Amino acid sequence: MSKTPRPKASDFDPEALRLFDQYVHGVIDRRGFLAGAARLAMGAAGASA
């Protein structure tokens, strides 16, 4: 059974990392984090269409 390699920080969108960092350190609340994540997801979906 092979292990899947663990993702590196460079594998993620820098904006997603910034958003997560703000959430973890209490700069934004869960609602703000999810709203930001939704914006990122919509941007990614729009870019692929």
Tens-place pLDDT, residues 14-29: 999 999 999 999 999 9
Token pair in block for residue 26: 């209490």
The residue type found at 47 is A
Half-sphere exposure of 17 (CA within 13 A, CB side): 8
* DSSP for residue 10: G
pTM of the predicted model, to two decimals?
A: 0.73
Is residue 23 within 8 A of residue 35, CB to CB? The reply is no
Query: Is the pLDDT higher at 12 or at 46?
Result: 12
Quote the tokens at residue 1.
């059974």
